[in-house]
Amino acid sequence: MISVLLLTLIPLEYVGTAATSKFASLNATLGDRLGRTHPISEPCYDDSTSDACKYVQENYVNSTFRRDVYGAMMYPVWETCFATDQGCVLNYQDPTDPTPWTTQKCEIGSLSSAYLAVESAADVQAAFAFANSTGTLLSIKNTGHDFVGRSVLKNSLALWTHKLNNISYNAVFVPEGGQADVNYTAITLGAGAQWFDVYKFADEHNVTVVGGYHPTVGASGGYLMGAGYSVLTPTLGLGVDRVLQFKIVTPDGVYRTANEYQNADLFWALRGGGGGTFGVVLESTILATPQLTLQVVSVSFNRTEETARNFLKLVIDNGVEWSNAGWGGHIYQNSFISVNPLLTHEEALESMQNASDYVLALNGSVVIEELPSFFAFFEKYVPTAEAVVGVHPVLGTRLISTSIFSNESAKAQLLEAFSAMIPFATVDPQINAVTPFLYKHMENATSVLPAWRDALWQVVFAAEVSWNATEAEKQEVFSLVNEITQPLRDVSPDSGAYMNEAFIYEPDFDTAFWGDNYPRLLALKHKYDPNGLLDCWHCVGWQGAQDERYSCYPDFAS
Ligand SMILES: Cc1cc2nc3c(=O)[nH]c(=O)nc-3n(C[C@H](O)[C@H](O)[C@H](O)COP(=O)(O)OP(=O)(O)OC[C@H]3O[C@@H](n4cnc5c(N)ncnc54)[C@H](O)[C@@H]3O)c2cc1C
Ligand SMILES: *[C@@H]1O[C@H](CO)[C@@H](O)[C@H](O)[C@H]1NC(C)=O
Ligand SMILES: *[C@@H]1O[C@H](CO)[C@@H](O)[C@H](O)[C@H]1NC(C)=O
Ligand SMILES: *[C@@H]1O[C@H](CO)[C@@H](O)[C@H](O)[C@H]1NC(C)=O
Ligand SMILES: *[C@@H]1O[C@H](CO)[C@@H](O)[C@H](O)[C@H]1NC(C)=O
Ligand SMILES: *[C@@H]1O[C@H](CO)[C@@H](O)[C@H](O)[C@H]1NC(C)=O
Ligand SMILES: *[C@@H]1O[C@H](CO)[C@@H](O)[C@H](O)[C@H]1NC(C)=O
Ligand SMILES: *[C@@H]1O[C@H](CO)[C@@H](O)[C@H](O)[C@H]1NC(C)=O
Ligand SMILES: *[C@@H]1O[C@H](CO)[C@@H](O)[C@H](O)[C@H]1NC(C)=O
Ligand SMILES: *[C@@H]1O[C@H](CO)[C@@H](O)[C@H](O)[C@H]1NC(C)=O
Ligand SMILES: *[C@@H]1O[C@H](CO)[C@@H](O)[C@H](O)[C@H]1NC(C)=O
Ligand SMILES: *[C@@H]1O[C@H](CO)[C@@H](O)[C@H](O)[C@H]1NC(C)=O
Ligand SMILES: *[C@@H]1O[C@H](CO)[C@@H](O)[C@H](O)[C@H]1NC(C)=O
C-alpha cells in the first residue's frame, strides 16, 4: 500500500499527460480549444483549506454550479469509475467530511481527460473524422443529467454541447423543404439550452412549451430524444411528439437537417431512439402552444405507514378519472402536485374533492389555485420540489398500462408493489401522471416506446449508494432496486420502461425501452453510424457489457 500522504501529493496533471498527448493533433486542428478535464472536487484534494474547496463543498448539490463544468456530472457516481471506485468525489451527505481526500487520491475516473466545447458542425465533423481514423472513443455530454452514466465514457474524447445555448422564436416556422402553408409557431434551441431558460424565453414570447421538471435538464439532448415527459404531456404530448426539426451531424460526417421532409427516417429515429446514438444534435425546433391558464393542486400531509398506504389506494382508485379530467403531475406517498389546462377553478375543486377530503382529514395542507401560465407555475412550485443532485441514485421505473385499472386484482397488486416501497426512507414511489393520456398522436411518427400511448402512469423510484459503498453494498442496492421493480414489471408485463430513468441493469432493455420499434431503430443505427463511432449503455446498437468501454460498470448478476 502506498502511503496516503504520497498519494495526495501527486498532482492530477501527471495522471492526465499520457492520456491527453494522443489528442495533440486534434487540439492543433481545433485551434487549441480542447479542454483538459479537472474533476469538480479536485480543489478539495489539492488543498482542503482553500476557498475553491469551500465553494465546491457549499455547492456540492447545486445543479447550476455543476452544469457549467465539464468535470461534473449531476450524479457524481458517474464521475467515478463505478466498478473500481477511482474518482474524485466528496461525501455527499457531508461535503466537509475529510475522509475522501485523506484516504483516496483524485483520479479522472470515468470522465474524459479531454473535452471539446462544441461551437459548430465543423467541430463535430473533425471529431468524428479523428475518432474514425484513430479509434478514439467519443462521448457526448450536454448537462450530465443522465441517470445511467451515458454522458461519460472512460478514455473517450468528450463533445460537450453546453455552449450551444442560443434560443430563438419563430412566429411562422416552416420545416426546411416543406410548403409555406404547413407552418407552426416554434422555438429553436441550441443543443445546450436548458429548460429554465427555455421556459423563461417562451413566457416572454407569450407561448408555452412542453419540457422537463427541472431547471437544468437539457431541452434538446437525452430528454428530447428519449421521450421527454412533462406535467403537460397528458394534454399536449411528449417532447418527441412536438419536435419539428433537428440539425445533426451523423457519424458518417454529414451535417443533416432531419424533419418530416428530409431524412425522414432519421427524424423518426431521433424522436424516441435516445441520445448519444445517431449523431450529435446541434439544434432542435419545438412546437410552441399559446399561453395557458392552469389549475394547480398541491397537497401534503405527515404520513404514517397506514395513511401513506391509504393515500396510495385513493390515488389508484381515482387515477383514471383524474387523467380523464386533464390532470398531469407528480404523486408521492404523502403529497402531490398536479396541473390542469382544461378545467375552470370550480371544476378543479370538484375534481380534486376526494384528495382534499382525505388530506384535510389528516390536518394536511391543500392548495388549489389558478395560475396564469406554465412559467408562473414552474417558478412557484418546481424549485422547491425538484429532484436533488450531487447524490448517487440507482433508479427503477415502469410504465403502468391503463388497462389494469379496470381489474380489481391488478389494482390490489399495484398497491402491494407501492406499499413495499414505503418502509424504505429513500425509496419513495414517484407516480408520474405524465403519459400522453388525452393527446391524439400521429401514428408511426415517432420511435418512442409504444407503451407510453397506453399507459396511465410512469412510476419511478430511487435507492442510493453511499459515496464510498463497498462492492457488497453496491450489489445490495442493485438487488433492492431490482426486487422493488419486479412487482411493477409483473403487474404491467406488456408495457416497458422509460430509457432515461431506468434501472442500470434493466433486463431485455431493447424490448423494455423500444418495444416493436427496436429492429427498425437498429437498422437506422447501422445506416447512419456504419463504423460504430457512437455507443452508450443500453442504447440502440449497444455493444454489450463485455465491451471494454463499459469496464467501469460494476457487474450485476441477476
Ligand atoms: C433532476 C432530473 C429531473 C428530470 N426530469 C425529467 C422530466 O421531467 N421529464 C423527462 O422526460 N425526463 C426527466 N429527467 C430525465 C432526463 O430526461 C434525462 O436525464 C436526460 O438524459 C437528460 O438529458 P441531458 O441532455 O440533459 O443530459 P446528458 O446526461 O448530458 O445527456 C443524456 C444523453 O443524451 C446524449 N446527448 C446529450 N446531448 C446530445 C446531443 N446534442 N446530441 C446527441 N446526444 C446527446 C448523451 O450522450 C447522453 O447519452 C430528469 C432527470 C433529472 C436528473
Ligand atoms: C490544447 O492546447 C491548449 C493550448 O496549448 C492547452 O492549454 C490544452 O491543455 C490542450 N488540450 C489538451 C487536451 O491537451
Ligand atoms: C448555485 O451555484 C450557482 C453558480 O455557481 C450560484 O450562482 C448560485 O448562487 C448557487 N445557488 C445556491 C442556492 O447556492
Ligand atoms: C471512416 O473511415 C472509413 C474508412 O475506414 C471512410 O470510408 C469513412 O469516410 C470515414 N468516415 C469519417 C466520418 O471520416
Ligand atoms: C440566436 O437567437 C437569436 C434570437 O434569440 C436570433 O436572432 C439569432 O439568429 C440566433 N443565432 C443563431 C446562431 O442561431
Ligand atoms: C401558415 O399556414 C396557414 C394555414 O395553412 C396559412 O394560412 C398562412 O398563410 C401560412 N403563413 C405563411 C407565412 O405562409
Ligand atoms: C398572450 O396569449 C394569450 C393566449 O393566446 C392571449 O389571450 C393574450 O392576449 C396574449 N398576451 C399578450 C400580452 O400578447
Ligand atoms: C371519488 O371517489 C369515489 C369512490 O372512490 C368515486 O366514485 C368518485 O368518482 C370520485 N370522485 C371524483 C370527483 O373523482
Ligand atoms: C387535527 O387537528 C385537530 C385539532 O387540532 C385534532 O383534534 C385532530 O386530532 C387532528 N387530527 C389528526 C388526524 O391529526
Ligand atoms: C407535520 O410535522 C411538522 C413537523 O413535525 C409540523 O410542523 C406540522 O405541523 C405537521 N403537520 C401536520 C398537518 O400535522
Ligand atoms: C386481472 O389481473 C390479474 C393479475 O393481478 C390477472 O391474473 C388477470 O388475468 C387479470 N384479469 C383480466 C380479465 O385481465
Ligand atoms: C403504422 O405502422 C404499422 C406497422 O408498420 C402499419 O400496419 C400501419 O398501417 C401504420 N399506420 C399508419 C397510419 O401509417
Ligand atoms: C465511508 O465513509 C464514512 C465516512 O464518510 C465512514 O464512516 C465509513 O466507514 C466508510 N465506509 C467504508 C466502507 O469505507
How far, in Å, from the CA of 119 to the mean position of ligand 5?
14
The pLDDT assigned to 20 comes to 57
Residues of the chain with pLDDT under 50: 1-16
pLDDT in tens, 498-555: 999 999 999 999 999 999 999 999 999 999 999 999 999 999 999 999 999 999 999 9
- How crowded is residue 28: how many other Cβ atoms within 10 Å of its Cβ? 10
- β-pairing, 114-117 vs 157-160, is parallel
423 lines ligand 7 (CB under 6 A): no
Tell me the CATH number of domain 294-372, given options 3.30.450.30, 2.60.40.420, 2.40.50.140, 3.30.70.260. Answer: 3.30.70.260
Pocket test for ligand 7, best of 185, 206, 289 (most atoms within 8 A of CB): 206
306 lines ligand 9 (CB under 6 A): no
Contact status, residue 105 vs residue 45, Cβ threshold 8 Å: yes
Nearest CA to ligand 12 atom 10: 444
- DSSP classification of residue 452: G
pLDDT in tens, 188-241: 999 999 999 999 999 999 999 999 999 999 999 999 999 999 999 999 999 999
pTM flag (> 0.85): yes
The pLDDT assigned to 427 comes to 73
91 lines ligand 13 (CB under 6 A): yes
Q: Note the CATH number of domain 167-291+518-550.
A: 3.30.465.10
Ligand number with the minimum distance to the CA of 288: 7
CA 478 to each of CA 20, 80, 558: distance values in angstroms, whole numbers, following the listed order: 34, 17, 9
The pLDDT assigned to 142 comes to 98
Q: Locate the ligand 2 atom nearest the alpha carbon of residue 33 and give its number.
A: 1
Measured distance CA(328)–CA(374) in Å, rounded = 12
The pLDDT assigned to 519 comes to 98
Measured distance CA(466)–CA(363) in Å, rounded = 35
Boundaries of CATH 3.30.70.260 in the chain? 294-372
Boundaries of CATH 3.30.465.10 in the chain? 167-291+518-550
The pLDDT assigned to 425 comes to 65
Strand order in the sheet with 34-36: 34-36, 114-117, 157-160, 138-141
Residues in CB range of 459: below 8 A, 6 or more apart: 397, 398, 399, 400, 418, 429, 430, 431, 432, 488
